[in-house]
């Protein structure tokens, strides 16, 4: 398969052109269906350049949220860009854990795939995600930190989905003299992927080099203001962390009724495996429900959380009427 929706999640417009239909449900990305509500009421002066003090304030608020000193935090226009920029900075012999996020293999030129069993090899750089995407594997923070022992290269940890279970994060372990770089994404947990906001947590030398590459205005005024307000909204964050597991459990139960076993420990998406996954993808797409197929894993299909009971019921009916 070479369709655009097999590269990353998304591709909803391409799916509409290919399959037709209206009123699509996009379950392909793993982005939370419950966006932080404060963004809708915010207004911005688009005539002004972003304020450096505002950017510094965002990084302080985000640092407090991540549990790391602000000197180790650099805001970037999306964690995807952060991965690629850091990869260009450090270079060197690299392996990326598979299965994993597709960009990991492109972060550093010549990176080679590695199974999880090989992650403890100390030579070279290692790139992994925790929780992992797309299979949702999640490992304790201590197990991630153990990968630093004797490591000759850098350990790059993509925590794009870590907000649902912060106890698994190693962000607080970032420090000067430690070869650990952590990447965080704003858009997934906060449901605002279009803001294009992410963070690189790294030793100060890496942060300084990254800032030099990003230039004077790396983020829009909207990204700065929305990110600062959302990270500071402790009540909404706590309520959302309580809400998502129940919704994931409801999706699990519905899938089980149709004979599919949902895998993954990340509350924002589930992975199912089936002999008919390609046919299942197309059946759902013909009913205007976009899921995430994988060209390299033809038995896999990933589904994000439906936004509400109506969306869950619609998915249920589409699975019923095969």
Going by pLDDT thresholds of 50, 70 and 90, the confidence category of residue 322 is low
- Number of Cβ within 10 Å of residue 291's Cβ equals 24
- Mean pLDDT computed over 249-270: 96
CATH number (domain holding residue 241): 3.90.1150.10
Higher pLDDT, 294 or 182: 182
Sheet holding 269-273, edge to edge: 269-273, 300-304, 292-293
Going by pLDDT thresholds of 50, 70 and 90, the confidence category of residue 296 is confident
What is the tens place of the pLDDT at every residue in 113-123? 999 888 888 88
Reference 255, options 285, 286, 282, 291; nearest CA is 291
250 and 243 in contact (C-beta within 8 Å)?
no
Q: Which domain holds residue 283?
A: 4-35+235-320
138 and 50, same structural domain?
yes
What is the tens place of the pLDDT at every residue in 99-118? 998 899 999 999 999 998 88
Of 176, 206, 232, the residue that ends a domain is: 232
Give, for 80, the enclosing helix (H) or strand (E). helix 79-90
For the chain, what is the mean pLDDT? 95
77 and 185, same structural domain?
yes
Question: According to the model, what pLDDT value does residue 295 have?
Answer: 83
Question: According to the model, what pLDDT value does residue 2 have?
Answer: 54
If you search the block for the tokens 């076993």, which residue do you land on? 261
Question: According to the model, what pLDDT value does residue 1 have?
Answer: 44
222 and 112, same structural domain?
yes
Range of weakest confidence among 8-12, 107-111, 312-316: 8-12
Of 173, 205, 232, the residue that ends a domain is: 232
C-alpha R_g of the chain: 20
49 and 9, same structural domain?
no
Please give the tally of structural domains in the chain: 2
Question: According to the model, what pLDDT value does residue 116 have?
Answer: 87
104 and 219, same structural domain?
yes
- Mean pLDDT computed over 136-140: 95
296 and 260, same structural domain?
yes
Asked if pLDDT for residue 4 goes beyond 80, the answer is: no
Question: According to the model, what pLDDT value does residue 117 have?
Answer: 85
Give dist(CA 139, CA 120) in Å, integer: 14
- Mean pLDDT computed over 68-85: 98
Going by pLDDT thresholds of 50, 70 and 90, the confidence category of residue 200 is very high
129 and 264 in contact (C-beta within 8 Å)?
no
300 and 203, same structural domain?
no
Of 202, 232, 262, the residue that ends a domain is: 232
Give dist(CA 201, CA 313) in Å, integer: 40
CATH number (domain holding residue 226): 3.40.640.10
88 and 99, same structural domain?
yes
141 and 99, same structural domain?
yes
Tokens of 306: 């439906």
Asked if pLDDT for residue 248 goes beyond 70, the answer is: yes
Asked if pLDDT for residue 93 goes beyond 80, the answer is: yes
183 and 82, same structural domain?
yes
């Amino acid at each position: 398969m070479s369709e655009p929706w097999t590269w990353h999640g998304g591709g909803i417009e391409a799916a509409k052109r290919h399959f037709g239909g209206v009123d699509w449900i996009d379950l392909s990305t793993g982005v939370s269906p419950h966006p932080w509500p404060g963004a809708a009421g915010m207004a911005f002066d688009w005539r002004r350049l972003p304020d450096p003090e505002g950017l510094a304030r965002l990084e302080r608020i985000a640092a407090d949220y991540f549990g790391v000193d602000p000197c180790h935090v650099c805001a970037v226009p999306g964690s995807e860009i952060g991965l690629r920029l850091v990869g260009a900075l450090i270079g060197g012999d690299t392996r990326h854990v598979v299965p994993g996020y597709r960009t990991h293999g492109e972060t550093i030129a010549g990176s080679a795939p590695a199974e999880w069993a090989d992650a403890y090899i100390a030579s070279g750089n290692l790139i992994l995600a925790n929780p992992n995407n797309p299979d949702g594997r999640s490992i304790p923070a201590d197990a991630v930190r153990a990968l630093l022992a004797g490591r000759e290269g850098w350990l790059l940890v993509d925590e794009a989905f870590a907000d649902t279970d912060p106890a698994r994060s190693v962000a607080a372990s970032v420090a000067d003299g430690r070869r650990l770089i952590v990447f965080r994404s704003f858009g997934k947990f906060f449901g605002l992927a279009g803001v294009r906001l992410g963070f690189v947590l790294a030793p100060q030398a890496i942060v300084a080099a990254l800032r030099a590459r990003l230039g004077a205005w790396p983020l829009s005024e909207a990204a700065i203001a929305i990110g600062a307000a959302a990270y500071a909204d402790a009540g909404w964050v706590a309520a959302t962390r309580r809400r998502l597991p129940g919704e994931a459990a409801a999706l699990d139960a519905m899938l089980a009724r149709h004979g599919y076993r949902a895998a993954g420990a990340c509350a924002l998406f589930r992975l199912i495996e089936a002999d008919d996954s390609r046919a299942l993808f197309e059946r759902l797409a013909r009913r205007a429900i976009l899921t995430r197929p994988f060209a390299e894993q033809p038995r896999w299909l990933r589904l994000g959380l439906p936004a509400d009971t109506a969306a869950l019921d619609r998915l249920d009916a589409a699975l019923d009427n095969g």
